[in-house]
Amino acid sequence: MTELGPAGGGPFEFEVGQRVHLGGITSTVVGRSAGAFGAVYVLETDSGRRVAFKTPRRDIVFDSGVLDRFVEETLLWMELPLHPFVLAARRVFKHDDRPFVEMEYVPPINGSGSSVAALLAETPDGRPLDVISALMIAMRLIDALAFIESFDESFIHGDVKPENLLLKVHPESAGKPFGEVALEDLMVLLSDFGMSRAAGADFGRRLGDVNYLAPEALELLRSSALPGPGYDWAVGSKSTDAYAVGCTIFELLFNAPRQILDPDTGSLVFAFDHHLDSQQLVRIHPKLPLPLAELLAACLDPDPAQRPQTYSDLWTALVETLERMGSETTFDPYDPEPHVRARNDPFGRYLMNRHGLSEEAAREVTYRLLRIDALQSLVELGRAAELLDELDRMVPGLASVENSRARNCLLLGENERARALLLSAIARYRADPELMQVDSSYSVACINLAQILSNPGWREPDTALALAEEAVSLNPASARVQLAHGMALMSARRFGDAAQALAGAESADPSNDQIKVMRRCCQLLRAKISPGEAGNPETSKETGLSREDEWLATGLMEMYAADLAAEEH
C-alpha cells in the first residue's frame, strides 16, 4: 500500500550544499527537484563532473512491491541501446533501502529548468513555438517512442508531457546562448521511465498528468469501472500515449494546455472544442499545415479506436505527414519560419493591408488572439484582459478584438456589456466583408449573442434565431453552434426542432455537461408547455444527469416557462 509519509517531512532527503556518499561516490548536492512521485538530485563530484540521481519521494511511503517494480522498470531502461533521443540511465542501486537510478545530467536551458516545459515557460510574452520548432520536437519524441517499442513491444510510457522531454544542446553548440542554438543542434531526450508506472500500479490507477490524460481514462477513474483486456491501470495504453503526444504537440503550438481538470466537477475543461478536427485546427492556427493538423486531430480524437494504436503507427503517420507537407504545401525544412510569416496568412495580410501593420506586428496580433482564446477556454481571464488591452492599443476598433473582449465579459458574467460589445463587433464584421472571410470568429460572435438573446429575461427570439441560423450556415459541425441553435429554437417555442439541434450538439461533444443540461431543460419545458406533443419527460436516471445537474435543468426550465408565460400576458 502506498500512503503519505510523515507530515512536514517534505520530498527531499538531502539539502542543497550537503556532502553525500551515494553509489560509492562522494559528492555535493548542487540542485534538486520533485515530481509527483520522485525526487531528483544533481550532484557534483570533487572532479567537477555532474550526475543526476532519481529516487522515490521521501514523504510518500511505498511498499516493497512498488519499489521492486521501480527497479525492474529502471533495469529495462538501462538495457535499451543508446539512442540520441532517449535519456540514458547508467545504473540502479539502493541507499538506506531506497532505490536510486543514476541518469545522464542535462544542464538547465533557462531559469525554469532543462525541459520543453521550461522552454515554454520563458518564451517572450508567453508565445507558442513556431510550427517548425514544434514539429522538430514532436519528431524526436515519436522517434524515441517508436525506437523503444522496437526493442520491447509491450512498452508503454504512460506519462508523456513537455516536462518529461529534456533539451540538451549538441556539444558543438555548447557555450552559445540558448536562443542562438540552431534547431538541429538541440537534442530532445525522452525521460521519466519507471516511477509513475510503478506507483500507478500500486494506486490501482493511471497516474499520468491529467493535462495529458485521455478522456476515456478519466471516465474510467470517475466511474471506477474496470478496464477491458490489455489496459494497464498504471500506464494506460499506447492509444492513451498517442493522446498525450497530441496534447504535447498542441501545447507546443499554443503554449497552453489542451485541457485541465475542473476541481469542482471532476470534468475536463478543453481549450477550444472538445473534438477538434483538422479544419478547426487550421482555422484557429492559420499557420498550421493541413497534414500536420490532420495528424494532431488523429492523436486527439476522443475515440481511442481512431488514434494511432502503436508507436510504430504514430511514426508511420508522422512520416506520411512530412511527405505530404513537402509535396502539398510550401513547407521547407530549411526555411526557419515559413509558416509564421504574416504575409503567408490571410488574416495577417488583411492586418498589413487594411490596418497598415508591419509583418512583425501582424504576426504578433495573430499570436495574441490565439493566446487569448486559449486563456479564456481555461478561464484565466485576468491575463486575457491584459492582452486584450494591449491589442486595443495595437489595432484600435478591430472587430476580432472586440469579439474576444465580449467573450471575456460573458465568462465574467457581465452579460449587459458583452451584449453591447457583440452588437458592435457583428456590425463591424458585416461592414468589412474581407475581415469576415479571413476571421472565422464571426460565427462565434453570432452564437454568443444568440445565446444571450435566448436566455430568460433577455428573450429576443427572432433575432437570436437569425443569428444562430447564420452561424449554422458557417460552421454546421460545431457543438457550440448547435447548442446556440437549440437554445434559440427553445426561445422561439420550436421545442421539437430544439431537441433535434441539442441532440446533434451532444453527439458532437458527448462529454459537455452544459449541453446535457440544456437538452434536459428542453425536454422538461416541452412537457410543461406542450404536454400532448412531448409525452412524459424522461426520468433523471434515464438522462444520466447527476442530481445537481437535474436540479439545474429543472430550475432553467422554470425560468424559461415563467418568461414565456409573462410574454403571453
| Most confident range, picked from 65-79, 117-131, 197-211 | 117-131
Task: Could you list the beta-strand ranges (E) of 141-192.
Answer: 165-169, 186-190
Model confidence at 520: pLDDT above 50? yes
> What is the four-CA torsion angle of 141, 288, 129, 385, rounded to 10 degrees?
-130
Residue 462 CB-half CA count within 13 A = 0
pLDDT tens-place string over residues 317-335 = 988 888 777 644 443 333 3
pLDDT for 343 equals 42
- Average pLDDT on 170-195 reads 68
pLDDT at residue 353 tops 60: yes
- 263-to-266, 515, 549 alpha-carbon distances in Å: 5, 20, 16
The DSSP letter of residue 260 is E
Q: In whole numbers, what is the pLDDT of the chain averaged over residues?
A: 78
What is the C-alpha to C-alpha distance for residues 335 and 347, in angstroms, rounded to an integer? 21
% pLDDT > 70, the chain: 77
Instruction: List pLDDT tens digits, range 418-459.
Output: 999 999 999 999 999 899 888 878 888 998 898 888 876 667
| pLDDT for residue 476 | 81
Domains observed in the chain: 3-103 (3.30.200.20), 116-328 (1.10.510.10), 341-430 (no CATH), 440-569 (1.25.40.10)
Q: How far apart are CA 288 and CA 131, in angstroms?
A: 7
Which residue is associated with the grid cell 525522452?
190
Reported as a pLDDT band with limits 50, 70 and 90, residue 412 is: confident
Residue ranges of E strands in 138-276: 165-169, 186-190, 259-261, 268-270
The cell for 86 is: 532517449
- What residue has cell string 474496470? 226
Can you give the pLDDT at residue 175?
64
Query: Nearest-CA neighbor of 39 among 27, 49, 50, 31?
Result: 31
**167 CB-contact burial (10 Å; exposed 0-12 / middle 13-18 / buried 19+):** buried
Where b means 16+ CB within 10 Å and e means fewer, 375-403 reads bbbbeebeebbebbeebeebbeebbbbbb
66-83 residue pLDDT tens: 677 777 777 778 777 777
DSSP state of 141: H
Q: Which helix (H) or strand (E) holds 92?
A: strand 89-95
User: What region does 24 belong to: left with phi over 0, alpha with psi -120 to 50, or beta?
Assistant: left
Distance from C-alpha of 376 to C-alpha of 373, rounded to nearest angstrom: 5
Which pLDDT value is given to residue 399?
93
Strand, coil or helix: 94: strand
Q: 418, exposed or middle or buried, with CB in 10 Å at 0-12, 13-18, 19+? A: buried
**Mean pLDDT within 201-218:** 63
Give CA angle at 527 (526, 529), nearest 5°: 65
Question: Once rounded to an integer, what is the mean pLDDT over residues 148-164?
Answer: 85
Distance CA(547)–CA(148), nearest Å, equals 46
Name the strand (E) or helix (H) holding 60: strand 60-61
Asked if 2 and 60 count as a contact pair (C-beta separation under 8 A), the reply is: yes
Going by pLDDT thresholds of 50, 70 and 90, the confidence category of residue 182 is low
Confidence of residue 225 (pLDDT cuts 50, 70, 90): very low
User: What is the gyration radius of the CA atoms in the chain, in angstroms?
Assistant: 26
How much is the pLDDT for 494?
A: 85
pLDDT at 60: 66
End-to-end CA distance of the chain: 66
Going by C-alpha positions, the residue among 261, 276, 496 that lies closest to residue 373 is 276
Report helix angle 238-254 to 131-151, nearest 10: 160
What is the mean predicted confidence (pLDDT) over 488-510? 83
Q: Confidence band (pLDDT; 50, 70, 90) for 183? A: low
Q: How many CB atoms lie within 10 A of CB 346?
A: 14
> What pLDDT was estimated at residue 36?
64
What is the model's pLDDT at position 561?
75
Instruction: Quote the pLDDT of residue 536.
Output: 44
- Close Cβ partners of 512 (under 8 Å, ≥ 6 residues apart): 274, 479, 483, 505, 506
d(CA 146, CA 153): 9
CA 37, chain centre distance (Å): 23
Residue 173 pLDDT > 70: no
Instruction: Detail the DSSP E strand segments found in 264-327.
Output: 268-270
Adjacent-strand bridge partners of 169: 186
Cα–Cα distance measured from residue 171 to residue 179, given in angstroms and rounded to the nearest whole number: 16
Closest CA to 11 of 52, 44, 54: 54
pLDDT number for residue 439: 82
Nearest to 485 by CA among 506, 464, 457: 464
Between 278 and 229, whose confidence is greater?
278
Tell which residue, 191, 238, 259, 241, has the closest CA to residue 38. Answer: 191
Cell of 60: 510518500
Contact in structure between 519 and 489 (CB atoms under 8 Å): no
**Mean predicted confidence (pLDDT) in 349-365:** 86
Among the listed ranges 40-49, 193-202, 458-467, 546-555, which one has the minimum average pLDDT value? 193-202
Residue 10: per-residue pLDDT:
79
**Phi then psi for 276, rounded to 5 degrees?**
-95, 120
Bridge partners of residue 270, in order along the sequence: 259
Other residues' Cβ atoms within 10 Å of the Cβ of residue 184: 10
Confidence class for position 531, pLDDT limits 50, 70, 90? low
Query: Is pLDDT of 14 > 70?
Result: yes
What percent of the chain lies above the pLDDT cut of 90? Answer: 18
Query: Residue 207: what pLDDT?
Result: 44
Q: What is the pLDDT of residue 406?
A: 93
Under DSSP, the state recorded for 86 is B
d(CA 303, CA 359): 40
Between 225 and 513, residue with greater pLDDT: 513
Q: Are strands 25-34 and 19-22 parallel, antiparallel or unpaired?
A: antiparallel
